Amino acid sequence: MNENKYPLVSDSRDPRFLTLRSLQTPQGRSRTGLYVIEGIRHVVRAIEHQAPIESVFLDPSVLSNPFGQKLARRLRKRGVPGIRLSRQLYRQLTLAAQPQGIGAIVRQQWIPLANIQVAPDSFWLAVESIESPGNLGTIIRTAEAAGVTGALVLSPDCDPYVPATVRATMGLLFSQKLIRCSPHEFTNWAKSNRVAVVASSPAGLMDYRALPYRFPAVLLIGSEKRGLSDQLLEAADFVVRIPMHGDCDSINAAVTSGVLLFEMASQRKGY
């Protein structure tokens, strides 16, 4: 296999391995602006969406899938730098129960809020803060499937590039426009672009189905435990709730996002 020509790293003190390890930490990611993806699906999607792949890492001993092998050769031919890792070192870089033997370091892509064009029929997602990395990834995946134009992240603690979040996006991170801004910048942006802010809260007085959404619109989601801050609830044009049966008081944040985003997507299409 051609990918055997990548140098082998089997010492856990090797700086190339240490770089990979450091990207599992918030500090390592923010210092470098990089993150790690793992698995054939993720690498394929990254290539399809021209995500800026900086380098590749392989474990040829588990890269048995012919398509995965072809992918590794293709990356090497394109001149992407890379290393081979011993099985033991590769294992430390993945959350997968059955690692696929191919991963990459990718450059984070944040779009400055000022560069964002707001089309009249566009719709957006904004997350104030989501505690569970898996939930955040599922929310990003759901938003992409529902057709949002981009996702605004309003808290510095909320990181779409955490390994468990990346994994839960199922490779849908690369096509999503990501914007980081403060709650204050967000409300200014919405106001000056006439974007209707739709906040989701169990305390909302409006059934989410009863509201005719106007576009452009942004759905605002708060943390699983605390919901949205008062500051953001007050800045909302509408506060909607999903009516729940019996004594249920909440549903999962990703499920909430799905129910609301697909309702908005449907209304936009005119159902």
| Interface positions with its own copies (CB under 8 A) | 48, 134, 138, 141-142, 144-147, 170, 172, 175, 207, 209-210, 242-248, 250-252, 254-259, 262, 265-266, 271
- Shorter beta-carbon distance to its own copies: residue 13 or 269: 269
**Residue 97 neighbours by CB under 8 Å, 6+ apart:** none
Q: Do residues 79 and 73 make contact, with C-beta atoms less than 8 angstroms apart?
A: no
How far is 60 from 84, CA to CA, in rounded Å? 7
DSSP one-letter code for 110? B
Work out how close the CB of 64 gets to its own copies at its nearest, in angstroms, rounded to a whole number. Answer: 18
Pull the structure tokens for residue 268. Answer: 């936009």
**Residue 50 neighbours by CB under 8 Å, 6+ apart:** none
- Shorter beta-carbon distance to its own copies: residue 112 or 270: 270
Work out how close the CB of 222 gets to its own copies at its nearest, in angstroms, rounded to a whole number. Answer: 17
Work out how close the CB of 127 gets to its own copies at its nearest, in angstroms, rounded to a whole number. Answer: 15
Radius of gyration of the chain (CA): 20
- Report the 10 Å Cβ neighbour count for 160: 23
Work out how close the CB of 265 gets to its own copies at its nearest, in angstroms, rounded to a whole number. Answer: 8
Work out how close the CB of 249 gets to its own copies at its nearest, in angstroms, rounded to a whole number. Answer: 9
Work out how close the CB of 163 gets to its own copies at its nearest, in angstroms, rounded to a whole number. Answer: 17
Phi/psi for 107 (5° steps) reads: -80, 130
- Shorter beta-carbon distance to its own copies: residue 207 or 234: 207
For residues 159, 239, 118, 150, the Cα torsion angle rounded to the nearest 10 degrees is 30
Q: Do residues 221 and 200 make contact, with C-beta atoms less than 8 angstroms apart?
A: yes
- Shorter beta-carbon distance to its own copies: residue 41 or 73: 41
- Shorter beta-carbon distance to its own copies: residue 48 or 121: 48
Work out how close the CB of 258 gets to its own copies at its nearest, in angstroms, rounded to a whole number. Answer: 4
- Whether cis (ω within 30° of 0) applies to the bond prior to 216 is yes
- Shorter beta-carbon distance to its own copies: residue 129 or 135: 135
Which of 83, 159, 93, 98 has the alpha carbon at shortest distance from 127?
Answer: 159
**Residue 66 neighbours by CB under 8 Å, 6+ apart:** none
- Shorter beta-carbon distance to its own copies: residue 66 or 246: 246
